[in-house]
Amino acid sequence: MPDVSPRPQHTGGRPTPEVSAQLDRQVLEVATALFVEQGYAATSLEKIARVIGCSKATLYRRYSSKEDLFKAVVAERGRLLLHEAGAMEASSKDPLVATREIARFFLDFMLRPETREAYRIVISDGHRIPFVADEMMVTIVEPFVATISRLLRVAADAGRIESHDHEEMTRVLMSLVIGWPLQNTMLGQNRMQDAAARKKFFDRAWGIFLSGICTNASA
């Protein structure tokens, strides 16, 4: 059962913005933890409300269904990913350094239990909640691919790499970085849970990627 921070005392009447914001955070935290621990089918709004200690009516005012709440959980994972990717893009003057940092973060991020299990639910229950997968593609996947594509375009324009279809090249990189580690982890093998093993795999995948696109071996 997930740990829940104590709710702030509220003596009645309309909740303050701070109380409301804290409850919003708690709902997402608890929902994420329960989806991870118990799966999509076994998690209900009623159970989430019980763990938090709020009424079902309070929860239903925020989310009309479990599907809507799960969509919010996925959106929050996406917000974290895009925030970090954007910060790395903005903080580096070298597009390939930024690309490498984002790709490494992506590997670690996708193997986090809360991200991995949300992804598993989207795959396994996608036929029940197709709008979640559709929205994930539009609001998370496409912006993330666009971030790396911009960096590859800058590197290509500078003559450092051979890349013409930057989106396709981005997907090649993501497949190299996350394909086997995610598959291995989702199958319960957990060989990538060790940070040193993950770094070794990433360095190899990044080296293969660079060897295929770089015009300058020292890039």
113-146 pLDDT per residue, tens? 999 999 999 988 877 888 899 999 999 999 999 9
Higher local confidence (pLDDT), 66 or 219? 66
pLDDT of residue 216: 58
Question: Tokens 């690309």 correspond to what residue?
Answer: 99
Cα 219 to Cα 211: distance, rounded to the nearest angstrom:
10
Question: Tokens 């009424």 correspond to what residue?
Answer: 55
Average pLDDT value for residue range 10-33: 80
Domains and CATH numbers, the chain: 17-62 (1.10.10.60), 67-213 (1.10.357.10)
pLDDT in tens, 50-90: 999 988 998 999 999 999 999 999 999 999 999 999 999 99
Residue 40 has pLDDT above 60, yes or no: yes
Average pLDDT value for residue range 28-47: 92
Average pLDDT value for residue range 170-178: 97
Residue 188 has pLDDT above 60, yes or no: yes
User: Packing angle between helix 166-186 and helix 95-110, nearest 10 degrees?
Assistant: 30
**Residue partners of 7: CB distance under 8 A and separation at least 6:** 19, 22, 23, 26, 52, 53, 54
The two tokens of residue 145 are 């691919």
